[in-house]
Amino acid sequence: MGTRLEGKTALVTGATSNIGRAIATAFAAEGARVVVTGRSEERGAEVVGEIRAAGGRADFVYADLDGSAEASRGLAGEANRVLGGRIDVLVNNAGVFPPNPTTDTGGDLLDLVWAVNVKAPYLLTAEVAPRMAAQGGGAIINLGSWLSRLGAPVATAYNATKGAMETLTRDWAAEFGPSGVRVNAIAPGVIQNPTFGGAPEGSDLAMRGTPAGTSGPPEAIAHAAVYLASEEAAFVHGSVLDVDGGRGSVAVVGAA
């Protein structure tokens, strides 16, 4: 167990699998008391059990962040209650990823992606950030994506939502930073998903020509989240930290 987040409380959305699970586990391992959220009570109990077995502190709160004000307000209130009236860190991780190109993305699916990936974290932040300011400060971490900057012919709706979250990161840093609330983001690259059998299909091709050359583990994103949540990042505001194996910014010329 570490101490980088000792005495902190954290709310991690979409924490029952993959990146969210890794972040929640890493936070708890560094001393934070964590609220794990998601739509699966079974997986939530599994994550909480794993954290507690390792000596950490965690509780599960069911949340279906569908973009409604009621869902975001309800989660903020319940997490605040479970964490003893204080949320020090919010991680806006929950999201959906339909791989469809534009021509296969109908209106209903488009509405769903924007509701879950942008509207829900927007409304949750609107609930949590003022509470953080009132208590003297806090940290908000959004999840962007390498796909928001490198044009791709698939997952266009998802890519656009991640671009929106990176823009909101800078906006919120300007809005809430003067009140002591730091807002930053992480842009993951192609990340393995142990819950569903490892690396996503086509990940080797997607990472060809990068320094890493392969997909990354969810723990790589968790390490970055711990840094941004900790006092080590006290002077970091409005930044998007690329944790993508170099996918978004580096080309290894001549790579096979």
**62 counts as catalytic:** no
What is the chain's pLDDT, residue by residue, as a tens digit (256 residues)?
799 999 999 999 999 999 999 999 999 999 999 999 999 999 999 999 999 999 999 999 999 999 999 999 999 999 999 999 999 999 999 999 999 999 999 999 999 999 999 999 999 999 999 999 999 999 999 999 999 988 888 899 999 999 999 999 999 999 999 999 999 999 999 998 865 455 555 566 788 888 888 889 999 999 999 999 999 999 999 999 999 988 888 888 765 5
Q: Is there a domain that residue 200 lies in?
A: yes
Q: Is residue 227 part of a domain?
A: yes
Is 157 inside a domain boundary? yes
Tokens of 148: 């928001």
The token duo for 151 is 């044009």
Q: Quick one: pLDDT at residue 211?
A: 87
Strand partners, 185: 142, 240
| Distance between CA atoms of residues 133 and 135, nearest Å | 5
Is residue 198 included in any domain, yes or no?
yes
In a domain, 248, yes or no: no
Q: Point out the catalytic residue in the list 62, 122, 158, 227.
A: 158
Give the number of domains in the chain: 1
CA separation (Å) from 137 to 58, 86, 92, 95, 146? 22, 10, 17, 26, 29
Domain containing residue 235: CATH number: 3.40.50.720
Q: Which range of residues forms the domain containing residue 121?
A: 9-243
Whether residue 22 is contained in a domain is answered as yes
69 located within any domain: yes
**pLDDT recorded at residue 256:** 53
Amino acid at 142: N
The model carries a pTM of: 0.95
Q: Is residue 52 part of a domain?
A: yes
Which element (helix H / strand E) includes 84? Answer: none
Give residue 200's pLDDT: 56
